Amino acid sequence: MLTNMSKFDRKVRFVTGAMIWVLYLTESMVGGFAHFLAVVGVIFLSTSIMNYCPYYLVCNTSTNKDSRI
């Protein structure tokens, strides 16, 4: 499976996505911007779990030193 994210990148994305969702679910954020951030949180969580970022592929870059892009 193609991986293009380093362990550090995965951890940062997972923690950031989880924090966004905790704030969203506790209603600390409200309004349209809160919904936008909730979507960003889902993207961060899913890319960290899959260890793959489609945007990195588009930009032909990787944070994983062992990646073969």
Kindly state whether residue 19 falls inside one of the protein's structural domains.
Answer: yes
* Number of separate domains in the chain: 1
Buried b (16+ CB within 10 A) or exposed e, 9-48: bbeebeeebeebbeebeeeeeeeeeeeebbeebebbbebb
Kindly state whether residue 63 falls inside one of the protein's structural domains.
Answer: no
Burial level of 63, CB count in 10 A (0-12/13-18/19+)? middle
Kindly state whether residue 68 falls inside one of the protein's structural domains.
Answer: no
Kindly state whether residue 51 falls inside one of the protein's structural domains.
Answer: yes
What would the pLDDT profile of 5-44 be if each residue is shown by its tens digit? 999 999 999 999 999 999 999 999 999 999 999 999 999 9
Kindly state whether residue 46 falls inside one of the protein's structural domains.
Answer: yes
Kindly state whether residue 66 falls inside one of the protein's structural domains.
Answer: no
Residue-range definition of the domain harbouring residue 34: 7-58
Q: What pTM, to 2 d.p., does this model score?
A: 0.84
